[in-house]
Structure 1
Amino acid sequence: MTRNVGGIDRAARIVAGAALILLALTGAIGAWGWIGVLLLATGLLSVCPAYLPFGFSTCKAK
């Protein structure tokens, strides 16, 4: 798959995803925190399926 998640977007997804998972594990925010798994996965893989239909990309132009 073509990468469509750039550096700053990627870092923000990883940090936010990890924070949400941590909060879900501690019970601070409940089950909604598991959405962090999606953020973490898209950050680590640098691919966001939601961007694909719209042709969005936060990667620098080649």
Structure 2
Amino acid sequence: MDRNVGGVDRAVRIALGVLVAVAGAAAIGGYWRAGAAVGALILAIGAVLVITGTTQRCPIYAGAGIDTCETER
């Protein structure tokens, strides 16, 4: 599979994903009054951001024809 997430996009996805996942875990743990179901959804969104950032592959980008990698193929 070709990479389509690069550079700054990758770093932002990973950093934001970690923050979102921590917020989701806090909601699940009761530290944030959003509720467990909302916390689970937020945690899943954070996990997707971290996964797409670390693998450098985003299926939404692939479907839309977007490529933020700086490397030539």
Q: Name the TM-score, length of structure 1 as normaliser.
A: 0.88
Q: Out of 45, 65, 69, which is 1:59 matched to?
A: 69
Residues 1-62 of structure 1: pairs in structure 2 closer than 5 A: 1-27=1-27, 28=32, 29=34, 30-34=39-43, 35-62=45-72
SS in 2 for 1:51: helix
Q: For structure 2, which runs of at least 5 residues remain unmatched after alignment?
A: none
Q: For structure 1, which runs of at least 5 residues remain unmatched after alignment?
A: none
The Cα RMSD (Å) is 1.3
When Rg is computed on C-alpha atoms for both structures, the one with the higher figure is 2
- Tell me how many residue pairs correspond in the alignment: 62
1:32: Cα distance to partner? 3.3
SS in 1 for 2:60: coil
1:61: Cα distance to partner? 4.6
**Percent identity over paired residues:** 40
Q: Name the TM-score, length of structure 2 as normaliser.
A: 0.76
Specify the code of the residue in structure 1 equivalent to 2:8. I
The structure 1 segments of at least 4 consecutive aligned residues displaced by more than 4 Å after TM superposition are none
1:22: Cα distance to partner? 0.5
